[in-house]
Amino acid sequence: SSKYVLSHMHPMWQGPLAVPGGDRQSPIDIVVRKSIFDSELKPLVTDYDPDTCQQIWNNGYSFLVEYDDTTDKSTLRGGPLQDKFRLCQFHFHWGESNSWGSEHTVDRKLFPAELHLVHWNSDKYSLFEEAVMEENGLAVIGVFLKVGKRHEGLQKLVDALPAIRHKGSVVEFTRFDPACLLPSNIDDYWTYHGSLTTPPLTESVSWIVMKQHIEVSHDQLAVFRSLLFTSAEEEVQKSMECFKGTRLSLGSFIQNN
Ligand SMILES: CC(C)NC[C@H](O)COc1ccc(S(N)(=O)=O)cc1
Ligand SMILES: [Zn+2]
């Protein structure tokens, strides 16, 4: 099993952790020829309980599937990790076309989308919000998506998206096993110390990026893109804007006759 570590050996500086301009910001370009095999890395062990799946919501930037992380029922350990990490949510990043969307790149290659499974260190901390500020607080598994055959496991999720079309909407979502979204060989990965890719951008993430991608169909990805990142009331405002314009011109038409 070929496990690679990225050698970003910057001199460790004692600066504050959450400096967005810091020296371990994610995402990065994974330069394959610069990755180093590390035989010390252990097999990655995921142990997810589908019963901890709770809800799916549109946060205005992506959609998140959230898990009950009040117990150690859905966990990640092994690989580069010394502790046990609890799954709290997974989400995707995608683009408006198949030519872009992923956050990480591999030798500058972009993928149409990227899945992030977010875990926090439950051996050391008691809440995600606490772990997010700590050096070894989080572990995120990244999986690249490519357009190809339909992903049967993803379809249950795709079918739930129309119900959360607008920013801020949330619906109950249960019994979803995120392991179905992982590639067949999860021991083929690159790992490096980085940060959250969106605010608060804290440098608290052990990244584990899968070398193997998963395939989803064009239609499934099109449903991702059908999500709106404006709220329902913003939608009404926008439609009123163009209507308001019409009323003004209509008024002037009446005056001129
Ligand atoms: C600090 C807490 C309260 N809020 C943080 C907020 O949820 C953002 O969490 C996250 C979680 C994961 C990621 S990524 N794309 O790097 O996997 C980015 C932001
Ligand atoms: Zn993400």
Q: Distance between CA atoms of 3 and 45, rounded to whole angstroms?
A: 14
Return the percentage of the chain with pLDDT > 90, whole number: 79
- The pLDDT value recorded for residue 252 is 55
Q: Distance between CA atoms of 54 and 61, rounded to whole angstroms?
A: 20
Q: Distance between CA atoms of 207 and 24, rounded to whole angstroms?
A: 11
- The pLDDT value recorded for residue 235 is 84
Residue 76 has pLDDT above 80, yes or no: yes
Mean pLDDT of 37-46: 96
How far does the centroid of ligand 2 lie from the alpha carbon of residue 196, in Å? Answer: 7
φ, ψ of residue 209 to 5 degrees: the values are -100, 120
Does any ligand 1 atom lie closer than 6 A to the CB of residue 61? no
Mean pLDDT of 139-160: 98
> Tens digit of pLDDT for each residue in 160-176?
999 999 999 999 999 99
- The pLDDT value recorded for residue 239 is 82
Q: Distance between CA atoms of 190 and 207, rounded to whole angstroms?
A: 8
Closest atom, ligand 1, to C-alpha of 103: 15
Does any ligand 1 atom lie closer than 6 A to the CB of residue 116? yes
Of 185, 194, 206, nearest in space to 43 by CA: 185
Closest atom, ligand 1, to C-alpha of 142: 17
Q: Distance between CA atoms of 67 and 123, rounded to whole angstroms?
A: 18
Beta-carbon contacts of residue 70 (< 8 Å; ≥ 6 apart): none
Residue 194 has pLDDT above 90, yes or no: yes
Residue 38 has pLDDT above 80, yes or no: yes
- The pLDDT value recorded for residue 14 is 43
Mean pLDDT of 4-33: 67
- The pLDDT value recorded for residue 8 is 40
Q: Distance between CA atoms of 235 and 192, rounded to whole angstroms?
A: 41
**Beta-bridge mates of residue 214:** 145
- The pLDDT value recorded for residue 209 is 98
Mean pLDDT of 224-239: 89
Q: Which ligand is nearest to the CA of 101?
A: 2
**Beta-bridge mates of residue 94:** 113
pLDDT-derived band at 237 (thresholds 50, 70, 90) equals confident
Q: Distance between CA atoms of 51 and 63, rounded to whole angstroms?
A: 19
Mean pLDDT of 124-132: 98
Residue 49 has pLDDT above 90, yes or no: yes
Residue 249 has pLDDT above 70, yes or no: no
102, with CB counted inside 10 A (0-12, 13-18, 19+), is buried
Residue 17 has pLDDT above 80, yes or no: no
Give residues whose Cβ lies within 5 Å of ion ligand 2: 116
Q: Distance between CA atoms of 92 and 31, rounded to whole angstroms?
A: 22
> Tens digit of pLDDT for each residue in 90-123?
999 999 999 999 999 999 999 999 999 999 999 9
Taking all residues of the chain, what is their mean pLDDT, rounded to a whole number? 90
Pick the more confident residue, 14 or 35: 35
Residue 247 has pLDDT above 60, yes or no: no
